[in-house]
Structure 1
Amino acid sequence: MTITQLRAFLTALERGSFTAAAVELESTQASISELVARLERELGAPLFLRGGRRLVPTESALALRAHAELAVSAIENGIETMRSLNALETGTCTFGVLRNAAYYDLSDLVQRFHDRHPGVRVRLVGLNSALVARSIAAGEVEAGLLVLPVDETGLTITPLFRDEVVYASARPDAPTGPVDLTDVAAAKLVLYDAYAGWDDPTRRQLRERASAAGLVIDPAIEVENVETALGLVASGTADTIVSRTIAESASFPPGISVVPFAEPLYDTIALVRREGTHLSPATRRLAEMAQHLLRSRTGSHPGRTAAAGTAGGDLPDGWTRPRDGNAQR
């Protein structure tokens, strides 16, 4: 039994002849007659009495009618739902973003997406990148935009954009040139993303470098938000590290000077999803828009560049770079 057979049966029942049903379904009388005959053979019962000017439905036909209508309606509704999803008229987009997403204009990204696709629900998860990676690996979030490196396995990673990390201080004796790790280890620091701690990708890079040099980075103060940390820096309480994008934002406190690391340090921002999964049309579209937004920033100053091995253009099918993108710095 097929949906085509049921549709032919219902149309013949409504129109009263195979010829009229064929006209409505843009088919031939012979094809409609054969579809109904095959259905009768499968059911083991006649559905119409033939021979007169109109088809006469049998009791079997009348009993089947309601079930056939439900089956055809369910299939047609399913097709229409899929068409709406693919046209981004309905559905839900679940997307993870890095903690400091506002500094990368991601709120504007969501607004532009919603203006274009108002029927799509958007659910953004804005946690530390290490936590977003876990949510993606667990299937709780479809995809995300986060900072590397992350440890989760089973992820497909596409690096997009490198943002230089700089040292920020408002002390009277604040450094005026590049700082090395010895200077950082000796300084009084306030670091943010306290909940994620050293799982935070930026802090993790700093600690790994210090450990390789035989140094220990031990912050005097840990807070959750970068804004709180910058407030403490502005008061001269402690120094911190921030991305170049944050340092150049309009809200960056006056009086704080920033200098690069002697060995440049970068946040590598990437699109991430679980390996072997297909994104919903809405999430894929948001990911494409995020990619174009971030790549439009590259080259705006020496501290922001395209991630190594990436190029412009549309998001490739399946996203090409596997988990070894974590090696990007």
Structure 2
Amino acid sequence: MDVRQLEYFLAVVDRGGFNRAASVLYVSQPSLSQAVRALERDLGTELFHRIGRRAVLTEAGQALIEPARAAVRSLEVARASVASVYELKEGRLDVASMPSQAVEPLTTLIRSFRQRHPGVTLAVKAVFTARDVIDAVRTGAVEMGLLASASDVPDKEVRAHLLDEQRFVLVVPPGGPFGGRRTVRCEELAGQRLIVGQPGTGMRAYVDSLRDQGIDFTVAVETEHRVALLPLVLAGVGLAVVTESWRGIAQETGAEVLDIEPATTLRVSLVSRRGVLSPAAAEFWTMTAPADGSR
């Protein structure tokens, strides 16, 4: 068994099949299949059920994912440490982020990091829930993660520190309901058509909590695509409850943004995997960590 075989195995897992994985790896499909077959022989078990062009993980394959990611990530850390000699002249940092936090504060964090280390490539993976971020970091799919939650992040699986708190706001079209105002009471959302995120997100949990309080609104659209929020609002489809991170972009498009009272916030945290980090990840963590080193 070697790390290249594990990289090939993970590529098939992440891309959902041998053909797509081969294309991403720039190798022929037969070469990729041969490497995975060799890995299966070394392990003495099949990792995939081959069903036509599909590759479905076996139970053994499922069990291999996390240790394979850990092995590949450890080698990447070693390579980056030697190549850069901690000067960060090159390298790559993989970050998982929930959509709203990818707007802010991730944009500002990346800008600051790139100003210091222009040779490092940052790759941002889109995930939709705090649990998804934690799992991506814990399993080694990424080294760093940015998430928002109503409470502190449990530190048993990952390291975490609080970056900011973002309140919920209401985005309305120009001339629409509540236009010209700066605030709106949550009770006033009764009878309105709202555009909401999918279950499992902090935004959706907040909207659902309003309904639990007896505030009766209509869900006009439920969307996983956050890029659709502002176009839908501007098209008059409904009003969107989002976090503060959207304020600047929304106002630039001509939409109006109102604070929802009483104020309710999400806690934005940066998380990292436990253990040794790559030089790029260690620098990113240090750049954003509280001065006193607390979570």
Aligned to 2:188: 183
Cα distance change, pair 246–81 in 1 and its aligned pair in 2 (3 A): closer
Query: Hey, what does 1:238 align to over in structure 2?
Result: 238
**TM-fit CA distance, 1:92:** 3.2
1:50 maps to none
| Gapped regions of structure 1 (runs ≥ 5) | 1-77, 293-311, 322-329
Amino acid of the residue matched to residue 165 of structure 1?
A: F
Q: Find the aligned partners of 2:79 and 2:87 in 1 and give their Cα distance.
A: 12
Relative to structure 1, the CA distance from residue 277 to residue 205 in structure 2 (aligned partners, 3 Å threshold; closer, same or farther) is farther
User: Letter of the aligned partner of 1:278 in structure 2?
Assistant: V
> Take 1:216 and 1:80, find their aligned partners in 2: how far apart are those partners?
54
SS class of match (1:199):
coil
- Tell me the matched-pair count: 213
After superposition, where does 1:1-329 map in structure 2 within 5 Å? 82=82, 84-100=84-100, 103-104=103-104, 106-107=106-107, 109-110=109-110, 113-114=113-114, 116-117=116-117, 119-130=119-130, 131-149=132-150, 154-170=157-173, 172-174=176-178, 176=181, 178-192=183-197, 197-211=198-212, 213-215=213-215, 219-249=219-249, 252-254=252-254, 256-274=255-273, 276-289=274-287, 291=288, 313=291, 316=293, 320-321=294-295
* Matched letter for residue 147 of structure 2: L
Distance 2:79 2:144 in 1: 25
Which secondary structure does the structure 2 equivalent of 1:248 belong to? Answer: helix
CA–CA distance in structure 2, aligned partners of residues 84 and 172 of structure 1: 54
TM-superposed CA distance for 1:206, in Å, is 3.1
Q: Secondary structure at the match of 1:189?
A: strand
> Going by fraction, where is strand more abundant, 1 or 2?
2
* Separation in 2, partners of 1:279, 1:228: 35
CA distance in 1, matches of 2:84, 2:182: 56
CA distance in 1, matches of 2:239, 2:80: 57
Deviations 1:111-131 (A, max 9, x none): 654464455443321332433
Distance 2:80 2:133 in 1: 33
Among the aligned pairs, what percent are the same residue? Answer: 22
Bigger radius of gyration among the two: 1
Q: Which amino acid aligns with 1:174?
A: F
- Rounded to whole Å, the distance in 2 between the matches of 1:253 and 1:133 is 33
Q: State the shift of 1:271 in Å.
A: 0.8
SS of structure 1 residue aligned to 2:99: coil
Aligned equivalents of 1:80, 1:238: Cα separation in 2 = 48
Q: Write out per-residue CA displacement over residues 73-131 of structure 1, whole angstroms, 9 at most, x where no aligned residue.
A: xxxxx899537343324543222233145633745644654464455443321332433
CA contact (8 A) 2:100 2:243 kept: no
Change (3 A) 1:183 1:154: same
Root mean square deviation of aligned Cα: 3.4
Deviation of the 1:270 alpha carbon: 1.0
Deviation readout 1:45-72 (Å, 9 max, x if unpaired): xxxxxxxxxxxxxxxxxxxxxxxxxxxx
TM-score, normalised via structure 1 length? 0.54
Aligned equivalents of 1:97, 1:282: Cα separation in 2:
17
Q: C-alpha offsets along residues 307-326 of structure 1, whole Å, 9 cap, x if unaligned?
A: xxxxx537x2xxx33xxxxx
1:230-267 deviations in Å (ceiling 9; x for gaps): 1221232211112333222376321x322222210223
Deviations 1:28-56 (A, max 9, x none): xxxxxxxxxxxxxxxxxxxxxxxxxxxxx
Whole-angstrom CA distance in 2 between matches of 1:164 and 1:260: 8
Distance 2:148 2:134 in 1: 9
The CA distance in 2 between the partners of 1:128 and 1:144, in whole Å, is 12
Q: Distance in 1 between matches of 2:199 and 2:79?
A: 48
Q: Please list every run of 5 or more consecutive structure 2 residues that lacks an aligned counterpart in the other structure.
A: 1-77
Query: What amino acid maps onto 1:313 in structure 2?
Result: A
